[in-house]
Amino acid sequence: MTASAFAATLYGPEDLRMVERPLGLLDPGMVRVRFGAGGICGSDMHYYRHARTGDFVVTSPLVLGHEVAGEIVEIGSGVTGLAAGDHVAVNPSRWCGTCVRCREGRENLCENIYFMGSASKTPHMQGGFASLFDATAAQCVKVPKELSFAAAALAEPLAVCLHAVARAGEMDGRRAILFGAGPIGLLTMLCAKLAGASEVAVVDIAAAPLAFAERLGADHVVDVSGGDEGLRDLSARRSFDVAFEVSGTPAGLASAIAGVRRGGTVVQIGNLAGGMLPVPANAVMSKELDLKGSFRFGAEYARAVSLIVSGGVDVMKLVTAERPLADAPEAFLLALDRSRSVKVVLTAS
Ligand SMILES: [Zn+2]
Ligand SMILES: [Zn+2]
């Protein structure tokens, strides 16, 4: 069947519109999903404000959204194991499965990857903030009907954080320090604890997210809005084995390099601006640091879904507001206000 959807479509900086989008016939191997819920991500907000994120530039209208879940309404030919009526968490990544990176198990680095709601490729792959959207069967992970769509949608950011912690290596009994207390920072904190971290410190420049981090179980919170004295003080008392940079700022990376112990590991998760950035790179050598990037996720997506279903991680603790998809433009403004919002989730109605 052909159909049409209403989709939160970005036309340029701060120009997000709900637009009708025709959907053609469903392709073989694909399923059509009715939107259940979608988390607004930091990268969605970057796109919203600047029509770009990092090195990815929006050059034609882009439907945002890559943290989505919903109900299957139609099955394309050749699809097995899924049926209309199934509730699914939708992995936004479409990996080729055959390139060198895929074959070595690093699917997030797939040379032919398509990622929903991303301008990394042209034409852009449209996102999931749409009342109906199509996905491959491989993208869909079935979830129990009792699970809220909002919780299922948050498998995506949880997978990002599971991957970041995996990149850090052994966490058991280690101390971690984390720069940036947004949703990814907070979920990384929970994942680090799940992996056995003995202590996690959280650093930010805003009071509200730090208070939230404390309620979620941060062992130390440090506000560096007035300078980094508190951070220097903490680093003098505590030796941090791993630093996670989640703020996506050169200052955050500089602090991560300064704050981690000699021989420690720094994981860059935050999406820094493209181009050259000033960072104290020599300390990577003199402290013999392992500086690692962490980009999206691979097999962690399925693990994230099972952790949410089993209650191993309560992602709903991060949700500060739910708004209908039709109100996406207003919901983005709310999400951008860090004094009021941690995670804003769009819902079907
Ligand atoms: Zn995201
Ligand atoms: Zn591949």
57 lies in some domain? yes
Q: What is the crossing angle of helices 229-237 and 250-259, to 10°?
A: 30
Domain identity same for 18 and 92: yes
Give the number of the ligand closest to the Cα of residue 105: 2
Q: Give residues whose Cβ lies within 5 Å of ion ligand 1.
A: 41
| Distance from the alpha carbon of residue 297 to the mean position of ligand 2, in angstroms | 13
What pLDDT sits at residue 285?
98
Domain identity same for 62 and 135: yes
Domain identity same for 14 and 114: yes
Host domain of residue 269: 162-293
Contact assessment for residue 244 and residue 178, using Cβ atoms and an 8 Å cutoff: yes
Domain identity same for 169 and 233: yes
Q: Name the band, by pLDDT with cuts 50, 70 and 90, for residue 274.
A: confident
Give the number of the ligand closest to the Cα of residue 127: 1
What pLDDT sits at residue 273?
87
| Distance from the alpha carbon of residue 183 to the mean position of ligand 1, in angstroms | 9
pLDDT in tens, 288-327: 999 999 999 999 999 999 999 999 999 999 999 999 999 9
What pLDDT sits at residue 167?
98
**Would you state the structure tokens that stand for residue 89, as one six-digit string?**
């968490």
Domain identity same for 96 and 200: no
- Structurally, how many domains does the chain consist of? 2
| Distance from the alpha carbon of residue 39 to the mean position of ligand 1, in angstroms | 8
| Distance from the alpha carbon of residue 106 to the mean position of ligand 2, in angstroms | 8
Rg (CA), the chain: 20
138 lies in some domain? yes
The enclosing domain of 253 has a CATH number of 3.40.50.720
| Distance from the alpha carbon of residue 45 to the mean position of ligand 1, in angstroms | 10
| Distance from the alpha carbon of residue 281 to the mean position of ligand 1, in angstroms | 28
309 lies in some domain? no
**Would you state the structure tokens that stand for residue 11, as one six-digit string?**
């036309």
| Distance from the alpha carbon of residue 298 to the mean position of ligand 2, in angstroms | 11
Domain identity same for 111 and 172: no
Domain identity same for 76 and 178: no
300 lies in some domain? no
The enclosing domain of 147 has a CATH number of 3.90.180.10
Task: Name the pairing type of β-strands 343-347 and 30-39.
Answer: antiparallel
Domain identity same for 121 and 167: no
Question: What proportion of the chain, given as a percentage, has pLDDT over 90?
Answer: 94
DSSP state string for 55-81? TEE--S-EE---SEEEEEEEE-TT--S
Burial of 199 (0-12, 13-18, 19+ CB in 10 A): middle
Give the number of the ligand closest to the Cα of residue 296: 1
Domain identity same for 149 and 195: no
Domain identity same for 134 and 217: no
What pLDDT sits at residue 215?
96
What pLDDT sits at residue 252?
96
Instruction: Report CA-CA distances (Å) from 288 to 242, 262, 284.
Output: 13, 6, 6
Give the number of the ligand closest to the Cα of residue 64: 1
CA distance 68 to 129: 8
| Distance from the alpha carbon of residue 104 to the mean position of ligand 2, in angstroms | 10
Phi, psi of 220 (to 5 degrees): -140, 145
Instruction: Report CA-CA distances (Å) from 309 to 71, 274, 291.
Output: 16, 37, 33
Cα 309 → chain centroid:
18
Give the number of the ligand closest to the Cα of residue 108: 2
CB atoms under 10 Å from CB of 7, counted, come to 27
Question: What proportion of the chain, given as a percentage, has pLDDT over 70?
Answer: 100
Q: Name the band, by pLDDT with cuts 50, 70 and 90, for residue 1.
A: confident
Domain identity same for 212 and 326: no
| Distance from the alpha carbon of residue 287 to the mean position of ligand 1, in angstroms | 32
210 lies in some domain? yes
| Distance from the alpha carbon of residue 316 to the mean position of ligand 1, in angstroms | 15
What pLDDT sits at residue 256?
97
Q: What is the mean pLDDT of residues 237-249?
A: 96
DSSP state string for 318-348? GEEEEEEGGGHHHHHHHHH-TTT-SEEEEE-
235 lies in some domain? yes
pLDDT in tens, 125-176: 999 999 999 999 999 999 999 999 999 999 999 999 999 999 999 999 999 9
| Distance from the alpha carbon of residue 95 to the mean position of ligand 2, in angstroms | 5
Cα 141 → chain centroid:
17
303 lies in some domain? no
| Distance from the alpha carbon of residue 44 to the mean position of ligand 1, in angstroms | 7
Dihedral of the alpha carbons of 102, 108, 110, 116, in degrees to the nearest 10 = 130
| Distance from the alpha carbon of residue 1 to the mean position of ligand 1, in angstroms | 30
Domain identity same for 242 and 145: no
Q: Name the band, by pLDDT with cuts 50, 70 and 90, for residue 53.
A: confident
What pLDDT sits at residue 145?
98
276: left (phi over 0), alpha (psi -120 to 50) or beta: beta
248 lies in some domain? yes
CA distance 331 to 207: 22
What pLDDT sits at residue 135?
97
Mean pLDDT of the chain: 96
Q: What is the mean pLDDT of residues 187-199?
A: 98
* Residues making up the chain, counted from first to last: 349
What pLDDT sits at residue 303?
98
Query: Which residues, in sequence order, are CB contacts of 237 under 8 Å at separation 6+?
Result: none
Contact assessment for residue 318 and residue 343, using Cβ atoms and an 8 Å cutoff: yes
